[in-house]
Amino acid sequence: MEDLSAFCCHNERCPDYGKRGQDNLRVCFRYGPRKQRRLLACRTCQARFSERGGTPLFDARLPEDKAVAVLHHIAEGCGVRQTGRLVGVKHNTVTRLSRRAGEHAKESHDELVAFSPKDP
């Protein structure tokens, strides 16, 4: 039995949307290189989604360790081209992944932080 407690249904019309630990998810099948990614299904609404869905890694088209390395370099202040050279990816890939991570961080912030002081 796989631990799926960190995941939730992504279907906004589902009664279990966004709720973790509801035991409503199951693994449909595995996909991707070496079949290491899971496609999950909600037993409540039958929706299917990637375990990477809703994360900056969804459709990243990079192995996870390489995508994480790109974001580590950016987080440490490396430039886009410098990161691309160090990790071995094109600078456009660095830009795309960084933009996605930034959007995801903003969405997470907006959902998790009740109040943010206004930036003057």
Residue 50 binds Zn ion, judged by CB under 5 A: no
Q: Min. distance of Cβ 34 from Zn ion in angstroms?
A: 28
Residue 4 binds Zn ion, judged by CB under 5 A: no
Q: Compare residues 39 and 47 and give the one whose CB is closer to Zn ion.
A: 47
In residues, how long is the chain? Answer: 120
Judged by CB under 5 A, the residue of 44, 50, 82, 95 near Zn ion is 44
Cα R_g (the chain), whole angstroms: 17
Residue 39 binds Zn ion, judged by CB under 5 A: no
Residues 5-24 that bind Zn ion (CB under 5 A): 9, 11, 14, 16
Judged by CB under 5 A, the residue of 22, 37, 39, 45 near Zn ion is 45
Q: Min. distance of Cβ 31 from Zn ion in angstroms?
A: 20
Closest CA to 24 of 44, 51, 2: 44
Binding region for Zn ion (CB under 5 A): 9, 11, 14, 16, 42, 44-45, 47
